[in-house]
Homo-oligomer: A and B are copies of this chain.
Amino acid sequence: MARPDGRTPKQLRPVTISRNWLRHAEGSALIEFGDTRVLCAASVEDGVPRWRRGTGEGWVTAEYAMLPRSTDTRGARESVKGKIGGRTHEISRLVGRSLRAVIDFKAMGEHTITLDCDVLQADGGTRTAAITGAYVALADAMKHLRKKRNLKRNPLTGSVAAVSVGIIQGQPRLDLNYLEDSVAQTDMNVVVTGEGEFIEVQGTAEGAPFDRAGLDQLLDLAVGGCAELTEIQKKALAG
């Protein structure tokens, strides 16, 4: 049972990271997981949200969105509809939470970094590409902040990568594209640190409930995929 693009079950799509794709942002990356293309921009601002003021700690947050024609059929613009949909909200929260897991907020001081992850083209795995690309933009923004504010410690305590995995006709597969995603029985998004520990595990039964064995297989696959992504991030940041 071949995959639609000829990959082996454990194979990632071609991944490219174009670092500093934007001129104004303190950190940025255009990341591609195959045809999925997400523009990640990190903005450094002085100060923190009201509820965090006076704590001496920083904040990292994220906003995810899709351009109207990133998808096969045009979607209505959320700004025009006047409200943000549940899926957008959910993914924005996931991206922010994932990145905050590797931040030493005390070391940051009262600064805020906002990660804007805008999907220019979608072919499955946009949220995992967003997290993986956002980390690169964040790393550059943090470097900028350290220098500018002369921070003693590095507020980044690790790296973060994410990948989707799923079971299709009984077969566990890594990094699903849209075609695969829409027929998967089980779908899981896994966020892993550079050291292979879990930050977030979100598994969902799409068709039928899944058992512990399936869950275990998917986790193995995801940990392997994230290790590869970690290497690609390192190369991009070394470039």
Chain A interface residues toward B at CB < 8 A:
22-25, 28, 35, 39, 41, 43, 45, 63, 65, 67-74, 77-90, 92-93, 97, 101, 114, 116, 118, 120-121, 123, 158, 188, 193, 195, 197-205, 208-212, 215, 219
Q: Which chain B residue has the least Cβ–Cβ distance from A72? A: B24
With A22-B69, A120-B39 as given contacts, are A201 and B199 in contact (CB-CB < 8 Å)? no
Contacts of A197 in B (CB 8 A): 205, 209-211
A-B residue pairs, 10 tightest by C-beta: A197-B209, A78-B79, A86-B89, A41-B69, A43-B74, A79-B79, A201-B203, A89-B89, A90-B90, A25-B69
With A23-B121, A43-B68, A197-B210 as given contacts, are A114 and B79 in contact (CB-CB < 8 Å)? no
Contacts of A158 in B (CB 8 A): 209
Contacts of A88 in B (CB 8 A): 79
Give Cα distance in the complex from A118 to B215, angstroms: 32
A-B pairs with beta carbons under 8 Å apart, 8 shown: A24-B72, A43-B69, A79-B79, A83-B84, A84-B86, A97-B204, A198-B211, A201-B201
With A67-B118, A97-B204, A204-B97 as given contacts, are A90 and B83 in contact (CB-CB < 8 Å)? no
Give Cα distance in the complex from A74 to B71, angstroms: 26
Q: Which chain B residue has the least Cβ–Cβ distance from A209? A: B197
Contacts of A77 in B (CB 8 A): 63, 65, 79, 116
Neighbour of A23 across the interface among B25, B35, B80, CB < 8 A: B35
